[in-house]
Amino acid sequence: MTTSRERHEKNTLVTSIEQVIQAYQSRGFKIQAILGHIQQMIEEKGISINICAANEHVPEIERYIRTVKERVRRTAVTLPFERYPPQLIIEMVYNCVFWLNSFPHKDSIHPTLSPRTIMTGQKITYDKHCKVEIQHIRKIHEKHNNSLEPRTSGAISLRPSGNEQ
């Protein structure tokens, strides 16, 4: 018998997979296989799922995870903190994935387009995405009135926002 939590996790996983499939299909891709550690089948969509056995790994996924972890560690040692809030760790991961997806990979489906460009149509430009060094600590302007309260506060740049501005 499945619990309410297991049903919720299954629904969340299936919904997430469907969203990823839609994103790829909207860019003209036909998904043929999904690799990973998942239990649910979505074969009615014509996609085969390579399910790993317990304690088995998908080498491509494991290598990508290792690369992201190495880059997050490299970023973390440049910061002037002893402890990292969870949101900062999340943003460091987003930053690493953003830049990994911003350049073409030698084994990619296209020799000159990055995964980000293929999926979003957006290209990286130096003027937009490299204005501020990542992990740069600076003061930013805050809304204020005519009181003597500070008009700036400390901030740290984490990553490009990914939007058109």
Does the pTM exceed 0.85? Answer: no
Task: Report d(CA 109, CA 125) in Å as an integer.
Answer: 22
Q: Is residue 23 part of a domain?
A: yes
Q: Is residue 50 part of a domain?
A: yes
Number of structural domains found in the chain: 1
Q: Is residue 114 part of a domain?
A: no
Task: Give 95-152 pLDDT, tens digit per residue.
Answer: 888 888 888 888 778 888 888 888 888 787 777 776 666 666 666 666 667 777 766 7
Q: Is residue 126 part of a domain?
A: no
Q: Is residue 3 part of a domain?
A: yes
Instruction: Give the domain extent around 45.
Output: 1-56
Q: What angle do CA 48, 51, 56 make, to 5 degrees?
A: 150
Q: Which of 24, 36, 78 lies closest to 60 in space, CA to CA?
A: 36
Q: Is residue 13 part of a domain?
A: yes
Task: Give 51-105 pLDDT, tens digit per residue.
Answer: 677 777 778 888 889 999 999 999 888 887 888 888 888 888 988 888 888 888 8
